[in-house]
Structure 1
Amino acid sequence: MLFGKLLPREGNFFEMFNQHAEHIVEAARAFSQLVAHYGDANLRDRHTQEVDNAERAADRVTHEVNQTLHKTFITPIDREQIHLLINTMDDVADLIQDSAETMALYDLQHLTEEVSLLTDLSLECCERVRDAVQLLARIADPAVAERALKICEEVDRLEGDADRVLRNAVGKLFREKVDVLELIKLKAIYELLESVTDRCEDVANHIEGVILENS
């Protein structure tokens, strides 16, 4: 009994989720600006650094959540749900950073319309994830829970759109007989950006699970 009284009963997990979700959006917006200004080397470097900064900030929140989870006796939602949610959210930030780093490492000389399309879809997915995360603390209200579920459905739809863009983009690379090295580079970027939307869908699925079990 004394042991239970000495441990914190509830960490501020919802606030930390919100902070992490904001960093995801920061990373996605910085990446969007990177793509928009790719031809300007100075702006490209600046926006790449912004992506890195946002990803590191997200990492710090993930570490804080996991530390708090170990120290907290009673949590507002299931412990495994907290663990899965924050670590899947962190995967989103990691993949955005991976996309920026891969473009630099591959010395990609030009971007395609498909990169821009996938970037836009990734950013929109990240924004919808943030919107859903912000509602988690209030899902006991049926109207709020329903709104969060609708946002999760939007994420699923956006992921489907990104999947179609990826398939068409890869098919186009092979049909147009692009230089082999360029094909490899672009295909890798396409797949990374589509993976951002995949992870956003995973986050949405976790949120749906939290809602169904706790609302």
Structure 2
Amino acid sequence: MLLGKLLPREGNFFEMFNQHADRVVEAARAFSQLVANYGDAHLREQYNRDVDNAERAADRVTHDVNRLIHKTFITPIDREQIHTLINTMDDVADLIQDSAETMALYDVRHMTEEISRLTELSVKCCERMREAVGMLAKLSEKGTPEAALKTCEEIDKLESDADRVMRSAMSKLFREEPDVREVIKLKAIYELLETITDKCEDVANVIEGIVLENS
């Protein structure tokens, strides 16, 4: 009984999930602008900073959530679900930053149509992920669980689209690119970008579990 009085019964986890999802979308959109303006060194540097700032802000939210789990006596959903959700979301932010850093480290000189397409799908996945996360606090409302599950299905479809784009990109790369160094660079970028959508799908799977268990 004393422990229950000393610790808060519920932390504001849903709001923190929303804050983190906002930062992920910020990072994704900044990365999209980086790709769109890659030929402009000044803009490229600016959008790289924007990606880094969004990723660091997401890290802080993740840290706060993981710390709050240990300070909260009764959580609104299962502790393990909270831990898995926030850390999987944070993996998305990390992968976006990794993609931007890899482009710089590998000295990628130009963007391909496939990079642009994979980036577009990644942004859409992150936006849908934010929509699904935003529904978690309202699962008791009529129609919300169904809407959340539908949004998760949309993420799954986007991930499948990204997988098809990557396979096509790899086939084209190995058939048409004569420079082995370019093959290595672009292969790494394609794989990273497709992994962003994979990780969004992982988030969707966690959300589906939460919805089914709590609605």
Does the TM-score normalized on the shorter chain lie above 0.5? yes
Q: Per the alignment, in what secondary structure is the counterpart of residue 11 of structure 2? A: coil
In 2, Cα distance between equivalents of 1:67 and 1:75: 13
Instruction: Tell me the equivalent position of 1:99.
Output: 99
Matched, 1:187 2:170: no
What is residue 11 of structure 1 aligned with on the other side?
11
What is the DSSP-based 3-state SS (H/G/I as helix, E as strand, rest coil) of the residue aligned with 2:143? helix
State the secondary structure of the residue aligned to 1:9. Answer: coil
Q: Which amino acid aligns with 2:207?
A: I
Please list every run of 5 or more consecutive structure 1 residues that lacks an aligned counterpart in the other structure. none
Residue 177 of structure 1 deviates from its aligned partner by 3.5
Output one character per residue of 1:186-211: Cα deviation in whole Å (capped at 9) or x when no partner: 00000000000000000000000000
Question: What amino acid does structure 2 have at the position aligned with 1:107?
Answer: D
Distance across 2 between alignment mates of 1:117 and 1:38? 15
Deviation at 1:142, TM superposition (A): 3.9
TM-score (norm 1): 0.99
Aligned residues: 215
SS in 2 for 1:76: coil
Q: Distance in 2 between matches of 1:178 and 1:60?
A: 43
In the alignment, structure 1 residue 154 sits paired with structure 2 residue 154: yes
Separation in 2, partners of 1:139, 1:191: 35
Query: Is residue 85 of structure 2 the alignment partner of residue 121 of structure 1?
Result: no
- Counting aligned pairs with the same residue, the percent is 74
Per-residue CA distance 1:56-89 (angstroms, 9 max, x = gap)? 0000000000000010010000000000000000
CA offsets per residue over residues 15-68 of structure 1, 9 Å max, x none? 000000000000000000000000000000000000000000000000000000
Counterpart-to-counterpart distance in 2, 1:45 and 1:7? 45
Stretches of 4+ aligned residues off by more than 3 angstroms: none
Which residue of 2 is the match for residue 57 of structure 1?
57
SS in structure 2 of the partner of residue 8 of structure 1: coil
Give the root-mean-square deviation of aligned CA atoms: 0.6
Amino acid at match of 2:78: D
- Output one character per residue of 1:81-139: Cα deviation in whole Å (capped at 9) or x when no partner: 00000000000000000000000000100110000000000000000000000010011
Q: How far 1:2 moved relative to its partner?
A: 1.1
Q: Distance in 1 between matches of 2:72 and 2:18?
A: 19
TM-fit CA distance, 1:151:
0.3
Which whole-Å CA distance do the structure 2 matches of 1:76 and 1:98 have between them? 32
The answer to whether 1:76 aligns with 2:109 is: no
* Residue number in structure 1 paired with 2:134: 134
